[in-house]
Amino acid sequence: MKGLKLNSMNLKIDKSWTLFLDRDGVINERLQDDYVKSWEQFRFIDGTLEAINMFTQHFGRIVVVSNQQGVGKGLMPASELELIHKQMQQAVAEAGGKIDRVYYSPYLEVEKHITRKPAIGMGLKARQDFNEISFKKSIMAGDSFSDVLFGKRLGMKTVLIGERDMAREHPNLIDLVYPDLITFARSIK
């Protein structure tokens, strides 16, 4: 499965652009009917470290925005989640890439909290922390409907990581589709 080339959308990606990434199912393997609750359970998807290294060469900022209701359910403390994120960032840095910041929403889906995607709170917090972020010069890459809706609500370009079925169902929400991050990264040249 191939995605569309960014060039076909006439986008010139440079250091003034920001890349927003979802975590589970995009950066690391999603656990079926469970949550990644420790670093020992965290597995990078093949090619992800190389992809983030490549993204680092093109984007000025790379931030992760992730719903993590396992914390809200009491399945893990926030301190353990933050340790996972710190180790993830360290592994990315050791591979030559960078993640500027990780934002997460610990709230349950039923709470409809402003920080839980598809609500836009994590995006607004990122722009507050990095005032050079322009959502018109940002891309949201995720594997779920809530990821692409989050991106569209903020005026970003959206990249679906995964199967094309959702793109067919929601063509106005999804700009590009790639099977994984490394395929997406290789398209930006």
Which sequence positions are flagged as catalytic? 22, 24
Element (H, E) at 138: strand 138-142
CA angle 154, 157, 159 (to 5 degrees): 120
Exposed, middle or buried, 189 (CB in 10 Å: 0-12/13-18/19+)? Answer: exposed
**Rounded to an integer, what distance in angstroms lies between the CA atom of residue 68 and that of residue 105?**
6
Give the burial class of 63: count Cβ atoms within 10 A of its Cβ; 0-12 exposed, 13-18 middle, 19 or more buried: buried
> Contact at 8 Å (CB) between 25 and 160?
no
